[in-house]
Amino acid sequence: MSDAEVMAEELLARASLAAAEFNQLDQAAVDRIVEAVARAALENRITLARLAWEETGKGVWQHKVLKNVVAALLVYRDIRHEKTAGVISEDAETGIIEIAQPLGPILGIIPVTNPTSTVIFKILISLKARNPIIISPHRAAVECCAAAARVCSAAALAAGAPEGCIQWITESSRELTHALMSHPRLALVLATGGPGLVRAAYSSGTPAIGVGSGNVPVFVEKSADIAFAVENIILSKTFDNGTICASEQAVVVEEETAARVRSEFERRGGYFLDPEQTVRVAAAAVRADTGLMNPAIVGQSAARIAEMAGIDVPAGTVLLLAPQEEAGEEYPLSGEILAPLLAFYVRPDFSAALKLCIDLNYRGGVGHTASIYSENESRIREFAELMNAGRIVVNTPSSQGAVGGMFNRLPVSFTLGCGAGGKNITTENITARNLINIKRVCRRRENREWVETPAEKYLNGAVGADEIMGSGNGEGGEADG
| Cβ atoms within 10 Å, residue 362 | 14
How far apart are alpha carbons 134 and 113 in whole angstroms? 19
| Contact in structure between 165 and 127 (CB atoms under 8 Å) | yes
133-137: strand order across its sheet: 166-168, 133-137, 106-110, 188-191, 208-209
Supply the mean pLDDT for the chain: 93
Q: What pLDDT shows up at residue 454?
A: 66
Q: What's the rounded mean pLDDT across residues 8-22?
A: 97
Q: What's the rounded mean pLDDT across residues 58-81?
A: 98
How far apart are alpha carbons 308 and 327 in whole angstroms? 24
Q: What pLDDT shows up at residue 476?
A: 43
Q: What pLDDT shows up at residue 448?
A: 64
How far apart are alpha carbons 49 and 240 in whole angstroms? 11
The better pLDDT of the pair 309, 198 is held by 309
The better pLDDT of the pair 213, 71 is held by 71
Which residue type occupies 305?
A: I
Q: What pLDDT shows up at residue 216?
A: 97
Q: What pLDDT shows up at residue 447?
A: 67
Q: What's the rounded mean pLDDT across residues 120-124?
A: 98
Q: What's the rounded mean pLDDT across residues 17-23?
A: 97
- Proportion of the chain above pLDDT 90, given as a percent: 84
- What distance, in Å, lies between the first and last C-alpha atoms of the chain? 58
Q: What's the rounded mean pLDDT across residues 435-451?
A: 82
Which residue type occupies 313?
A: V
Q: What pLDDT shows up at residue 481?
A: 38
Q: What pLDDT shows up at residue 195?
A: 77
Indicate the length of the chain as a whole number: 481
Reply yes or no on whether 245 is catalytic: yes
Residue whose C-alpha is closest to residue 294's, from 117, 58, 109: 58
pLDDT in tens, 205-263: 999 998 878 999 999 999 999 999 999 999 999 999 999 999 999 999 999 999 999 99
Q: What pLDDT shows up at residue 473?
A: 47
* Domain spans of the chain, in order of start: 3-210+431-438, 216-408
Of the candidates 152, 245, 357, 418, the residue annotated as catalytic is: 245
pLDDT in tens, 253-284: 999 999 999 999 999 999 999 999 999 999 99
Is pLDDT at 472 greater than 70 in this prediction?
no
Q: What's the rounded mean pLDDT across residues 25-43?
A: 98
Is pLDDT at 478 greater than 80 in this prediction?
no
Which one is the CATH code of 3-210+431-438: 3.40.50.10490, 3.20.20.70, 3.40.605.10, 3.40.50.2300?
A: 3.40.605.10
Q: What pLDDT shows up at residue 421?
A: 85
| Contact in structure between 429 and 412 (CB atoms under 8 Å) | yes
Which one is the CATH code of 216-408: 3.20.20.80, 3.40.50.800, 3.40.50.620, 3.40.309.10?
A: 3.40.309.10
Which residue type occupies 439?
A: K
Q: What pLDDT shows up at residue 106?
A: 98
Q: What's the rounded mean pLDDT across residues 398-410?
A: 95
Is pLDDT at 451 greater than 60 in this prediction?
no
Is pLDDT at 474 greater than 60 in this prediction?
no
- Proportion of the chain above pLDDT 70, given as a percent: 93
